[in-house]
Structure 1
Amino acid sequence: MAMSSTGRSGRRRGETQTRDAIAFAARAAFADVGYDRATMRSIAAAAGVDPALIVHFFGSKEGLFREVTALPPEMGAAMAGLADGPRQEVGLRFAQAVVGMLENPATRPVILARLRSAASHPEAAALVRELVSRDLGLLTSSLTDDRPEARAVLAGTQVVGLAFVRYVVRVEPLASMDAAAVVDVLAPTFQRILVGPLTD
């Protein structure tokens, strides 16, 4: 008969598994309720560990937030790579990339955690600014020398608006719209913002 594993320390799993469980629970909590409302105790409970283990692995709630909301390096590389390919289709490629990241269960919580927390948490606000100015700026600068900074911010407003309306407050009909349809609707707007004339 197999013995059941009990105990209160949270060390039933290996350290890597425990750390990953905390990160997963924290990312979900920050995405669902934002930085202020996500408590160390609730995150620990969701991960099935003692709250002291969060401090052990991440140092603090701030350190935990910073680590679990870091964008995977491949996301930045994917954004930079969008400049490759036909210029007349860059809006479509960008829309596909954005919707793809928001539909992906692995990356959506990272973006939503930043957005939900940005209004009240300076670190989260800085991460959102970084996404707009640096990551999108790399793309727009590689496409044109006509106001790339402004284009990055304008594209960022569309990304943030989409994420907030479709995935946070879930306004219909956008919330239930098929992902491919969202791409089709956004692609012309992104095309104009990224490489089209910004004024008549």
Structure 2
Amino acid sequence: MTTRTSRGRRPGAPDTRAEVLAAARASFAEKGFRGTTIRAVAASAGVDPALVHHYFGSKDDLFVAALEIPVDPREVLAPVVAAGPDGAGERLLSAFLGVWDDPAIQPGLLAMVRSLIADDSGGLVRDAFIPVVVGPVLAGLVADRPDVRIPLVASQVVGLIVARYLLALPPMAQMSAEDVVARMGPVLQHYLTGDLP
């Protein structure tokens, strides 16, 4: 009996995707976003780099998958951006709160945020999540100075996450989504489109 040898790249085993994700998480945690490469992740997982691209597409997509976010923020923000800059601050907060206040999604988001805060030696929030995941989407809402406007918006949203969800500060934690949007939406709108000093 002859054994047939297959040619080409090794097929992905059922657990190969999980191994790639584990290698990616370790690399992003240790080396940060900039220091992580698809080739290095593939080598660590023992697969061809083409298989990493097959499973995840780009390095940005691999990063989002490695974070284990229950929803892709790029998909949540796409309708906000598509509707244009007028009223975007309120729409942005409504979309954000719609996801964060969902009891089926919130535990996964809280786990992700706590993990990022605890293990962010590589600056993943600063160097990757905001500039790679959120920044390019929000850039469609700002006419000028995205390097200033997007971090200002991010500072408000991160502050909201900490106050409302991590620390559960009263009255922020008990405030209805409509009240949060009414109070904070104009601030985000100003950061997106208003005059800046």
When the two structures are superposed, what TM-score results if normalisation uses the length of structure 2?
0.59
With over 3 angstroms needed to count, the CA separation of the structure-2 counterparts of 1:129 and 1:186, relative to structure 1, is farther
Preserved contact between residue 69 and residue 111 of structure 1 (Cα < 8 Å): no
CA distance in 1, matches of 2:191, 2:132: 16
CA distance in 2, matches of 1:97, 1:153: 19
1:71 aligns with 2:69: yes
Of the three residues 147, 150, 174, the one matched with 2:148 is: 150
Report percent identity of matched pairs. Answer: 28
With over 3 angstroms needed to count, the CA separation of the structure-2 counterparts of 1:175 and 1:73, relative to structure 1, is closer
Preserved contact between residue 69 and residue 112 of structure 2 (Cα < 8 Å): no
With over 3 angstroms needed to count, the CA separation of the structure-2 counterparts of 1:152 and 1:107, relative to structure 1, is farther
Structure 1 unaligned spans of 5+:
1-18, 20-65
Residue deviations 1:152-186, cap 9 Å, x none? Answer: 21111111111111111111111111121111111
Of the three residues 92, 107, 122, the one matched with 1:94 is: 92
Of the three residues 173, 180, 197, the one matched with 2:195 is: 197
What SS class does the counterpart of residue 176 from structure 1 fall into? Answer: coil
With over 3 angstroms needed to count, the CA separation of the structure-2 counterparts of 1:81 and 1:123, relative to structure 1, is farther
Of the three residues 134, 137, 140, the one matched with 1:136 is: 134
Preserved contact between residue 90 and residue 189 of structure 2 (Cα < 8 Å): yes
CA distance in 2, matches of 1:118, 1:74: 16
CA distance in 2, matches of 1:197, 1:145: 11
With over 3 angstroms needed to count, the CA separation of the structure-2 counterparts of 1:84 and 1:130, relative to structure 1, is same
Give the aligned residue type for 1:141. A
CA distance in 1, matches of 2:168, 2:141: 32
Preserved contact between residue 69 and residue 108 of structure 2 (Cα < 8 Å): yes
What SS class does the counterpart of residue 106 from structure 1 fall into? Answer: coil
Preserved contact between residue 90 and residue 182 of structure 2 (Cα < 8 Å): yes
Structure 2 unaligned spans of 5+:
1-17, 19-63
CA distance in 2, matches of 1:152, 1:159: 11
Preserved contact between residue 82 and residue 90 of structure 1 (Cα < 8 Å): yes
What is the CA distance between 1:105 and its match in structure 2?
2.4
1:182 aligns with 2:141: no
Give the aligned residue type for 1:152. I
With over 3 angstroms needed to count, the CA separation of the structure-2 counterparts of 1:186 and 1:129, relative to structure 1, is farther
Q: How many residue pairs are counted as aligned between the two chains?
A: 138
When the two structures are superposed, what TM-score results if normalisation uses the length of structure 1?
0.58
Residue deviations 1:84-132, cap 9 Å, x none? Answer: 2253211111010111121012332333223322333137851565332
RMSD: 3.0
Give the aligned residue type for 1:154. L
CA distance in 2, matches of 1:153, 1:92: 17
